[in-house]
């Protein structure tokens, strides 16, 4: 156990190798092997130059065949592929948000789901102009759920949450014609525009990409985050642990994996049920241990201090320990590989959502109406499976780091305010953070997000970039699998991580008693970052695009990540990618996304793609310093 220093990527890789050896004993497949089988990848796919949206194709663009059969050129094809990527991500995040609104509609004082943060509900109701006076809080919750659900399909108007953005940003969106209307409409419009025989003009396709992305970040994701807080509590700093060693040799291990906290919250609840614990003991276990993988891990870590076993590319590792009684999943980022892999061990692979059905799994359909019953059945199945564990196959690498997590915007404002002791209004102020930045004690902030991708050495880019930025007095705000990379390494342990900071950042961390890498939650919680950036802009009077703040997704892989990139950039935050977004086949699309006169003219920010991680870090620092110089700070 590394309580007093960082865990290195080399050490994590050694642990993974020992797990792969475990897998070999039982004939398990692995993503590491499948990457080899799939390499090299298709060059047309990687350049974005293959079109298969009608059955006259597929059409692949080469110097000899510069147009598809319909006559579409490479710019139209790359642009359409890019927009479809965004639409997939926006639909996915937003549908998660929609599920949360349906769960909100099911809240009852004595039911499975309750209103745990009534103040937040009242605050949002006021924002939305909903009368709250004298209303029962559950009646209000149901009314808000219905209004929120209308945001998905309303025939007129734009997203309600846009009014949270600074006026300057709202004006840019209006002038660029990218204010998102109903959430579903932006996804449908994207699919309509990219159907055979519609848009092939890159500018129009990229404009809709930003608009669809905004419907996610300022629509579906923001609702997912805000109303999860209303039901499950707004995260506050809490101590937990991370990395594969959080699994317990003598306990029933239940891994929750996926994204929607409605499921994991209930599994956590029933894992603490005395009846279930007694049952576990009757099978010879010392108790029940719940740990998380992927964004579900972030959700339950932030609210309950549940340990985080790993991120995206660690999902097979938890099964390979031979000590996983059940891996319980809901939606998104779940490897279908978990089905056959779980069959090599005693592990139950339990799928719960009609959205994510997979072969070789046990399906227990989870719904808000029968949540308690479903969760209890899942926990019971895991507990009863303990007796089937083969102790000879158990290999839990002894790797655990401490992590302080739970930095919602509300929590960040509160901890920093405690240091500066300023007077705050109801929502608090980001002025102490701004003062740290303008005085130069902190040079700026980086929002580091996103996945792992075998195209980049897993976790290495996240961790090395973070260390480089910390050294340069740049504070990190992180989410998703990036957050777990940091937690696994120990960068969220205030005691360990402060030694990697420059003098200014170290002082701030000590005064506020925070780690220099702040865990802001899951990927839908990148909406929290938009709220923080907006608040910084309003409190300083400086447009978001001029603040010394950038975004970074060094190892991204999913459609959701592209949707996120689009709303982050559209909000005015320059975004740095370590994996190419399949746009390099078109110089026109590349210029729109990365040039000085593309999206930058509309939203004052753009993308930088740099596959060399060292250079990616240098470029971020350079951009932050340029912004500081422009502000004269
Ligand atoms: O939404 S960071 S691998 S787990 S897509 Fe998935 Fe990427 Fe992880 Fe969460 Ni986000
Ligand atoms: Fe080919 Fe055009 Fe059909 Fe695409 S839409 S597959 S480019 S014919």
pLDDT digits (tens, 9 = 90+) for 325-342: 999 999 999 999 999 999
What band does 426 get if pLDDT is binned at 50, 70 and 90?
low
pLDDT at res. 118? 98
Q: Which ligand is nearest to the CA of 68?
A: 2
Rounded distance between C-alpha atoms, residue 154 and residue 165, angstroms:
21
pLDDT tier at 429, thresholds 50, 70, 90: confident
Q: What pLDDT is attached to residue 425?
A: 52
Instruction: Tell me the pLDDT of the chain averaged across its residues.
Output: 96
Residue 416: which pLDDT band, with cuts at 50, 70 and 90? Answer: confident
Q: Quickly state the pLDDT bin for 417 (edges 50, 70, 90).
A: confident
Q: Is the CB of 252 under 6 A from ligand 1?
A: no
Residue range 74-87: mean pLDDT, rounded: 98
pLDDT at 73: 98
Q: 191 C-alpha vs ligand 2 centroid, how far in Å? A: 15
Distance from CA of residue 148 to its chain's centroid?
Answer: 21
Q: What is the mean pLDDT of residues 502-508?
A: 96
How far does the centroid of ligand 1 lie from the alpha carbon of residue 450, in Å?
6
Q: Is the pLDDT of residue 106 over 60?
A: yes
Q: Name the residue at shortest CA distance from atom 1 of ligand 1.
A: 523
175, pLDDT greater than 60: yes
Residue 626, CA atoms < 13 Å, CB-side half-sphere:
9
Question: Is 565:577 a contact under the CB 8 Å cutoff?
Answer: yes
Closest residue by CA, ligand 2 atom 5: 196
Relative to beta strand 549-553, strand 575-577 is parallel
Angle at 297 between CA 117 and CA 412, to 5 degrees: 50
Q: Is the CB of 560 under 6 A from ligand 1?
A: yes
With the most atoms of ligand 1 within 8 angstroms of its CB, the residue from 312, 315, 565, 568 to mutate is 312
Pairing outcome for strands 517-519 and 474-478: parallel
| Burial class of residue 133 in the structure, from the number of CB atoms within 10 Å of its CB (0-12 exposed, 13-18 middle, 19+ buried) | exposed
Q: Whose atoms come closest to the Cα of 55: which ligand?
A: 2
* Cis before 40 (ω within 30): yes
Q: Is the CB of 451 under 6 A from ligand 1?
A: yes
User: Dihedral (C-alpha) 318, 322, 326, 328: value to the nearest 10 degrees?
Assistant: 20
- Is the pLDDT at 3 greater than 90? The verdict is no
* Across 243-258, average pLDDT: 98
- The ligand 2 atom at the shortest distance from the C-alpha of residue 196 is 5
**Other CB atoms within 10 A of residue 123 CB:** 16
* Predicted TM-score of the model (pTM): 0.97
Rounded-to-integer distance, Cα 179 and Cα 480, Å: 26
Task: Take residue 452 and report the two structure tokens written for it.
Answer: 């792992």
Of 412-426, 437-451, 498-512, the range with the lowest mean pLDDT is 412-426
Average pLDDT of the segment spanning 63-71? 98
Mean pLDDT value of segment 117-140: 98
Q: Does residue 333 line the site of ligand 1, with CB under 6 A?
A: yes
Structure confidence at residue 516 as a pLDDT band (50, 70, 90): very high
**Distance from the alpha carbon of residue 524 to the mean position of ligand 1, in angstroms:** 9
Residue nearest to atom 9 of ligand 1 (CA): 295
Kindly give the distance from the C-alpha atom of residue 280 to the centroid of ligand 1, in angstroms, as a whole number: 32
Percent of the chain surpassing pLDDT 70: 98
Q: What is the mean pLDDT of residues 367-386?
A: 95
Closest Cα to atom 4, ligand 2: which residue? Answer: 51
User: 459: pLDDT confidence band, cut at 50, 70 and 90?
Assistant: very high
- Residue 420: the pLDDT is 64
Q: What angle do CA 327, 329, 333 make, to 5 degrees?
A: 110
The pLDDT value recorded for residue 371 is 93
**Given the CA of residue 524, which atom of ligand 1 is nearest to it?**
1
Q: pLDDT-derived band of residue 428, with 50, 70 and 90 as boundaries?
A: confident
Residue 427 pLDDT greater than 70, yes or no: no
Q: What is the arithmetic mean of pLDDT over 88-101? A: 98
φ, ψ for residue 191 (rounded to 5)? Answer: -70, -35
pLDDT over 60 (residue 55): yes
DSSP 178: -
pLDDT at residue 435, as a whole number = 93
In 3D space, the residue among 387, 334, 383, 388 whose CA is nearest the CA of residue 361 turns out to be 334
**Does residue 451 contact residue 556 with C-beta atoms inside 8 Å?**
yes
Distances (CA, A) of 269 to 97, 300, 366, 371, 373: 22, 11, 15, 11, 12
Cβ atoms of residues 121 and 157 within 8 Å: no
C-beta 292 within 6 A of ligand 1: no
């Amino acid at each position: 156990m590394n309580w007093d220093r960082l865990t290195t990527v080399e050490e994590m890789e050694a642990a993974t190798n020992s797990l792969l050896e475990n897998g070999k004993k039982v004939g398990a497949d692995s993503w590491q092997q499948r990457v080899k089988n799939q390499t090299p990848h298709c060059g047309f796919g990687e350049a974005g130059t293959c079109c298969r949206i009608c059955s006259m194709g597929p059409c692949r663009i080469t110097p000899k065949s510069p147009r598809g059969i319909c006559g579409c050129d490479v710019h139209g094809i790359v642009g359409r592929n890019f927009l479809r990527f965004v639409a997939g991500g926006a639909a996915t995040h937003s549908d998660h948000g929609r599920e949360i609104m349906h769960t909100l509609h099911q809240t009852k004082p004595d039911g499975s789901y309750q209103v745990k943060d009534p103040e937040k509900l009242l605050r949002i109701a006021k924002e939305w102009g909903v009368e709250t006076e004298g209303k029962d809080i559950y009646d209000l919750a149901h009314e808000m759920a219905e209004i929120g659900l209308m945001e998905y399909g309303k025939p007129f108007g734009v997203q309600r949450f846009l009014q949270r953005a600074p006026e300057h940003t709202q004006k840019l969106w209006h002038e660029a014609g990218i204010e998102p209307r109903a959430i579903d409409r932006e996804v449908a419009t994207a699919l309509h525009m990219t159907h055979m025989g519609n848009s092939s003009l890159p500018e129009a396709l990229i404009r809709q990409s930003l608009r669809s992305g905004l419907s996610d970040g300022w629509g579906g994701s923001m609702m997912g985050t805000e109303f999860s807080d209303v039901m499950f509590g707004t995260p506050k700093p809490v101590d937990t642990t991370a990395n594969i060693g959080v699994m317990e040799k003598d306990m029933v291990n239940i891994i929750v994996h996926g994204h929607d906290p409605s499921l994991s919250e209930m599994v956590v609840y029933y894992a603490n049920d005395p009846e279930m614990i007694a049952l576990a003991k009757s099978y010879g276990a010392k108790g029940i241990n719940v740990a998380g993988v992927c964004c579900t891990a972030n959700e339950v870590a932030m609210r309950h201090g549940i340990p985080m076993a790993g991120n995206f590319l660690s999902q097979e590792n938890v099964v390979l320990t031979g000590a996983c009684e059940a891996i319980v999943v809901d939606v998104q980022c779940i490897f279908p590989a978990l089905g056959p892999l779980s069959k090599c061990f005693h592990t139950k692979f339990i799928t719960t959502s009609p959205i994510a059905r997979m072969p070789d799994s046990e399906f227990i359909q989870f719904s808000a109406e029968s949540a308690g019953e479903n969760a209890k059945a899942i926990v019971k199945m895991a507990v009863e499976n303990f007796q089937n564990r083969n102790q000879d196959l158990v290999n839990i690498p002894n790797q655990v780091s401490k992590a302080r997590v739970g930095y919602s915007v509300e929590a960040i404002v509160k901890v920093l305010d405690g240091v500066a002791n300023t007077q705050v209004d109801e929502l608090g102020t980001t002025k102490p953070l701004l003062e740290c930045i303008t005085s130069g004690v902190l040079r700026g902030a980086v929002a580091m997000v996103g996945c792992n991708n075998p195209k980049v050495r897993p976790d290495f880019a996240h961790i090395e970039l973070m260390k480089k930025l910390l050294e340069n007095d740049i504070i990190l705000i992180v989410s998703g699998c990036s957050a777990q990379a940091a937690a696994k390494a120990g960068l969220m342990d205030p005691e360990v991580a402060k030694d990697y900071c420059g003098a200014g950042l170290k002082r701030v961390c000590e005064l506020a008693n925070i780690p220099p890498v702040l865990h802001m939650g899951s990927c839908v919680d990148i909406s929290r970052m938009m709220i923080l950036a907006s608040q910084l802009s309003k409190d300083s009077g400086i447009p978001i695009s001029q603040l010394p703040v950038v975004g970074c997704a060094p190892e991204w892989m999913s459609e959701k990540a592209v949707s996120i990139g689009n709303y982050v950039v559209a909000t005015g935050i320059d975004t740095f990618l370590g994996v190419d977004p399949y746009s390099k086949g078109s110089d026109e699309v590349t210029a729109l996304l990365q040039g000085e006169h593309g999206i930058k003219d509309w939203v004052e920010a753009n993308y930088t793609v740099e596959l060399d991680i060292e250079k990616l870090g240098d470029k971020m620092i350079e951009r932050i310093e340029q912004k500081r110089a422009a502000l004269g700070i």
